[in-house]
Amino acid sequence: MRVTISRAYFAEMCAHARKNLPEESCGLVAGRDLPDGTREILRVYFLTNTDHSREHFSIDPREQLAAIRDMRSRGLIPLGNWHSHPESPSRPSEEDKRLANDSRATYLILSLEQADSPVLNAFHIETVDGIRTVRREELVFIEE
């Protein structure tokens, strides 16, 4: 799947994640699925990491519910979530895979491992024949 996100949102995610260091940051993404298979992220939500941890995150269900209500009011659909890895690469950990329970979701991971060159990747995670499988999606940054 091809996933698109604006450079402005990418910059905002980086700023938010840097501000919250050393903790991981997290949130949701919303937008629409186009007929050609492209998944278009049109809104990013910056939510509280209730774990307040540098190596784990949990999204508050009340904030999650409020964000979903907001998406609906804007005619957008929930597309997945994002979180930062302050000190490690932009790829799913075993913990990320274990807790990726929505096979319809796109999982975005922002790495701040290299402070001057943050890396954002998108992943699809699902269970196939009892095994968690990860597929990296094509992530395209859109100029606005």
- Write the CA distances from 93 to 45, 60, 98, 103, 109, integer angstroms: 22, 21, 9, 17, 10
One-letter amino acid for residue 4 of the chain: T
Site string for other proteins, 70-109 (x = CB under 8 A): --x--------x-x-xxxxx-xxxxxx-xxxxxx-x-x--
Considering the complex, state which of residue 18 and residue 56 has its C-beta at the smaller distance from other proteins: 56
Which one of 13-21, 33-41, 59-67, 131-139 is the stretch in contact with other proteins (CB under 8 A)?
A: 59-67
The number of beta carbons lying within 10 Å of the beta carbon of residue 5 is 24
Distance of CA 116 to the CA centre of its chain: 20
Q: How far is the CB of 40 from other proteins (least distance, A)?
A: 19
CB 29, CB 42: distance < 8 Å = no
Contacting residues toward other proteins, per CB under 8 A: 24, 26, 28, 51, 53-59, 61, 64-65, 68, 72, 81, 83, 85-89, 91-96, 98-103, 105, 107
